[in-house]
Amino acid sequence: MIAITREVSRSIIHCELTHLERRPIDIQRARAQHAEYEAALKHLGLAVLSLPEEPSLADSVFVEDTALVLDECAIILRPGADSRKPETESIAKALSPYRKLFTIQAPARVDGGDILRVGRQVYIGLSTRSDTNAAEQIQDFLQPYSYEVQVVRVTGCLHLKSAVTQAAEDTLLINPAWVDPGNFAGMKFIESDPSEAYAANALWLGDSVLYPKAFPRTRKKLMDAGIKITDVDADELAKAEGALTCCSLLLRE
């Protein structure tokens, strides 16, 4: 498995913010946490392809929003925020040796944070960043590969994956205040602790998850469910409204 990542931009203090107040970001601390994230992935056996910094693209560390990568192909997305649209160019270059590429066409908009794939099911969150036009294009691209695309309404948070992520083969970690569990037929659920609104974002790696240290109550629920956890600090990156899944694109070699 390869994880594509990108160094934290020196301009991250100018990042997009939708549901958070702007707070000072310590760039050195953000970079140290990002390095810890990459080290954890390497420790778990992934090869990390770390792309160079994009000094003028404030949110470019959050590579997840630029592409949907599947075993059969990859789709270069069209991020909802105008400041983020140029982030896709270098990602398309990085992915082209590995996958046949499709590209979302304007005026459709979709962030990768709004796309949750579970097996052959692809859920697309309708948020302030992503629309039905993009979901229809994704459905067309994936039609030959037997994926089922389903749109899901999201409220109160930035992305679908702020509200729900996969924590095990058959289990979703979910904040039901932001997305209705009824959308995800056949899955088991672990609900994030109500006092930890941002705790539903875990990075699932097949037999364990990477999980932020900031959410001890939800962490205990994951542990109690028998889920193996690698802890990382990500609170400085979280000030830029980014979570753990946002910081990588995972692909099978």
Kindly list the catalytic residues: 159, 246
Instruction: In angstroms, give the least distance from the CB of 245 to ligand GLY.
Output: 12
**With binding defined as CB under 6 A, does residue 198 bind ligand GLY?**
no
Site for ligand GLY (CB under 6 A): which residue of 18, 121, 133, 230?
18
Q: Detail the DSSP E strand segments found in the chain.
A: 2-6, 47-51, 67-69, 74-76, 101-103, 115-118, 121-126, 148-153, 164-168, 171-174, 188-191, 203-204, 209-212, 229-232, 249-251
Instruction: In angstroms, give the least distance from the CB of 182 to ligand GLY.
Output: 27
Site stretch for ligand GLY (CB under 6 A), options 38-46, 160-168, 176-184, 239-247: 239-247
Instruction: Give Dmax (Cα) for the chain.
Output: 46
Q: Is the peptide bond before 107 cis (omega within 30 degrees of 0)?
A: yes
Site for ligand GLY (CB under 6 A): which residue of 4, 190, 240, 247?
240
Edge-to-edge strand ranges of the sheet holding 164-168: 164-168, 171-174, 188-191
Site for ligand GLY (CB under 6 A): which residue of 114, 131, 236, 241?
241
Q: Return d(Cα 129, Cα 87) in angstroms, integer.
A: 15
Q: Scan residues 51-80 and list those touching ligand GLY (CB under 6 A).
A: 59, 62
Give me the residues that bind ligand GLY (CB under 6 A), please: 15-16, 18, 59, 62, 81, 84, 158, 240-242
